[in-house]
Amino acid sequence: MKKLITPLVLVGLLAAAACSNNPEQQADAGPVTLKVARDPGLDKGAIAAFDERVAQFEKANPGIDVQPQEYNWTATTFTAQLAGGTLPDVFTVPFTDGRGLIERKQIADISGLVGGLPYGAKFSPNVARSGQAEDGKMWAVPIAAYGQALHYNRTLFKQAGLDPDKPPATWDEVKAAAKQIAEKTGKAGYAQLTTDNTGGWILTTLDYAFGGRAEKLDGDKATAEIDTPQMAEVLQLLKDMRWTDNSMGANFLYDWGGINQAFAAGQIGMYVSGGGNYGSLFTQNALKPADYGVTVVPLKDSPDAGVLGGGTLATVSAKANEPTKAAGVKWIDFYYLKKLIDKDSAVLDAKTTAASKQPVGAPQLPVFDKATYDESLTWVKDYVNVPLGQMTPYTDKMFDQPLVTEPSRSTQEVYKVLDPVVQTVLTKKDADIADLLKKADAEAQALLDRN
Amino acid sequence: MRAKGGLSTLVFLLPLLLVFGLFSWFPIARAVVMSFQETNLVTPPTFVGLQNFQDVLADPLLWTAVKNTLYFALLALLFGYPVPLLAAVLMSEVRRFKGLYSALAYLPVVIPPVVAVLLWKFFYDASPTGVFNTILGWVGLGPVSWLQDSGSAMPALVLEATWAAAGGTVIIYLAALTGVSTDLYEAAEIDRASIWRKVWHVTLPQLRGILLITFILQIVGTAQVFLEPFLFTGGGPANSTTTILLLIYNYAFANSLGGAYGSATALSIMLAVVLGLLSALYFRLTRSWSTS
């Protein structure tokens, strides 16, 4: 009978824990202990680099004791941590979560402190919006922005007789390359994320690339746009690669960690994910730099075709008292932002990171303006240790692609609805795409109407 | 003296009552309250009456989850229920290396469930070079998609769950078997009963009580299967392994911005009530069998 009460106890305990989140209880003067997020599963070098940055921060801020806490945003664990009050004081979330967290007051209002930063008004407006409340005050700070990219394995390209310096530039070429890789190497030519809401995320990315949109906003009214010719075309492409070309391997239940692991292990020829993925592939999955290639997501010849862009926000826990909030913003400034805008900080960060043999210089989109970004690259160029030459197919074109933000309403829920759609196409040979899209559209619309 | 005894009993009992009340019953009571609320656990909740229950019952995925859970329970009953009994009876018949067999049978139970799942995930690799598919290849079979196909995913989960849980039940049966009077077996041997007749006429009737208990435990356990679908497939492919508990988890945690905790607790309570009623009905129906 112990199992009988497990779900009740689990949710109930969370409720009890959430009830005890009283900021006033923690307000006291004196030194501040600040728990900050650190990626889990980092290798020794990456941890050493992080610890060194912590030491530098503590030296500059003697009243603050920084304690790293392993934290990684995933849709399924974040809610539990948020509700249970177990998040670090400073943690990161994707752009898609910013507005909702602010509206529900689930994070601390640090707008006053952020406004006091010297570059508070310099954020790129597109990027800044995701961290701002309705009144324009910035509660969550954008620290990184990305556009989706097509990552590929140069070694598998060579083995398959493809030129790794000329990666596919159209979806027909992606399909042909995937088939060639699968036939010549026996590995998956192209793989797709499908679980934990990432199935919807990448399906939406491809939909954007084909000129579609997952939802449309008209004033306050959101309409699902899933049952569209673009989405059908994307799914047909995946269906053909999976069942006709047999070029997608044997695993169709990939989550973000799983696909990165498989790619770094040389099991996958190509996959679509954030353009800045090199860091996690290298520090968490032991990717061999020589294997790595990245290019832009091919866009269809349509005026609406665009690349899905997103990013990361740094936020402070709603539990934090005033001194902790102030310390948290200092950390965000020191660890995430200053290096993007201040030469000395950029050099110190790059030097520390490179000394621990961690990647410096992986491509990103600018959080501030492009000129600042370009200038920041010149500051750290001596320390860049990522194979930049292998990334030129991406870096040469990343700024030319129209960037389209993620669906803004019920984003993760809509992605969740799309997960089984892409899974069905990849695991059922006779999947009826039209029927799947019709049902998913109705389901997503019901969600949008309810929220 | 009597009153003093009562007080000291209470003093001894108090820590247990407190711990039980705080960690077991308070969360349950809190969950019942929450099933009538809309809350994100950070800002104050609002009462919504039966709305959460209505939302859950109107969700088409609920019936998929119910069907999947029943399918899991059925498969687990077909494979998982007889296997430990058979193993225990066979092991009780052998004289040599009995301890070794018990240890081997119990070994999977000692392996942490998450480790076991990760290990089996590796075995279930759907490519022709996967462990199970390589073995099947030796006899000219496969490759099987295992977890990557809606048809084979659930049986694959049941297979691992049976492997993981059978050892514990084997030990229960073995313990029960030691309680069976040897006189009965001796009498059967004098009557020149074969091994199967001994099992049928002596062992099984003597184990009746424990068999009834493990049966209901099996039903309750399988109705709450979570770990396997969560770790192996995340409910996929195409919701073919989404069980009731996984649905509860998804309600609460799949939306990163604060899930439908009300719906999650409403479904938890409905499941608990159904299982409670089922258990009560079962014990009522089988009361005469277990005591006769």
Q: Does A108 touch chain B (CB under 8 A)?
A: no
Q: Lowest mean pLDDT of A261-265, A386-390, B50-54, B102-106, name the range.
A: B102-106
How many CB contacts within 8 angstroms connect chain A with chain B?
175
> Which residue, chain included where needed, has tokens 């649905």?
B247
> Which residue, chain included where needed, has tokens 């992080």?
A50
Task: Name the pLDDT band for A27 (thresholds 50, 70, 90).
Answer: very low
Q: What span, in angstroms and rounded, lies between the C-alpha atoms of B222 and B243?
A: 10
Q: What span, in angstroms and rounded, lies between the C-alpha atoms of A142 and A95?
A: 8
CB A293 within 8 A of CB A281: no
Structure tokens at A412: 């993760």
In this predicted model, what pLDDT tens digit does every residue of B200-256 receive, in sequence order? 888 888 888 888 888 888 888 898 899 999 999 999 899 999 999 999 998 888 777
Structure tokens at A439: 């049902």
Q: What span, in angstroms and rounded, lies between the C-alpha atoms of B152 and B236?
A: 11
Task: Name the pLDDT band for A2 (thresholds 50, 70, 90).
Answer: very low
Distance from CA of B127 to the nearest CA of A (A): 5
Q: b/e string for B270-281 if b means 16 or more Cβ within 10 A?
A: bbbeebeeebee
At residue A4, φ and ψ (nearest 5 deg) are -60, -35
Domain locations along chain B: 44-286
Q: Lowest mean pLDDT of A175-189, A226-240, B86-100, B137-151, name the range.
A: B86-100
How does the average pLDDT of chain A come out, rounded? 90
Amino acid at position B19, single letter: V
- Using DSSP bridges, classify how beta strands B46-47 and B37-38 pair: parallel, antiparallel or unpaired: antiparallel
- pLDDT over 80 at B146, yes or no: yes
Q: Please name the residue of chain A whose CA is at the shortest distance from the CA of residue B216.
A: A1
- pLDDT over 80 at B167, yes or no: yes
CATH class of the domain at A147-309+391-450:
alpha beta
- pLDDT over 80 at A16, yes or no: no
Q: Which residues of A touch B224 (CB under 8 A)?
A: 3-4, 6-7
Question: What pLDDT is attached to residue A30?
Answer: 63
Structure tokens at B181: 């009077």
Question: What pLDDT is attached to residue A301?
Answer: 94
DSSP B229: I
CB A103 within 8 A of CB A71: no
- Indicate the residue of A9, A16, A253 with minimum beta-carbon distance to B147: A253
- Using DSSP bridges, classify how beta strands A141-153 and A292-296 pair: parallel, antiparallel or unpaired: antiparallel
CATH class of the domain at B44-286:
mainly alpha
Domain locations along chain A: 147-309+391-450
> Between the CA of residue B47 and those of A123, A136, B175, what are the distances in Å?
41, 32, 50
- Interface list for A 293-332 with B (CB within 8 A): 318
* Diameter of chain A measured on Cα atoms: 67
Helices (DSSP H) in A130-277: which residue ranges? 154-159, 171-185, 198-209, 229-239, 256-264
Question: What pLDDT is attached to residue B290?
Answer: 59
Question: What pLDDT is attached to residue A60?
Answer: 93
> Looking at residues A322-349, what average pLDDT do you find?
93
B267 or A30, which is more confident?
B267
Residues A202, A203, A204, A207, CA torsion sign: positive
Q: Which residues are paired to A315 by β-bridges? A: A91
Q: Is A443 left (phi over 0), alpha (psi -120 to 50) or beta?
A: alpha
- pLDDT over 50 at A20, yes or no: no
> Looking at residues A382-389, what average pLDDT do you find?
94
- Interface list for A 223-262 with B (CB within 8 A): 249-253, 255
Q: Does B238 touch chain A (CB under 8 A)?
A: yes
Q: Does B168 touch chain A (CB under 8 A)?
A: no
How does the average pLDDT of chain B come out, rounded? 88
CB B143 within 8 A of CB B126: yes
Nearest CA to A350 out of A385, A374, A388 is that of A385
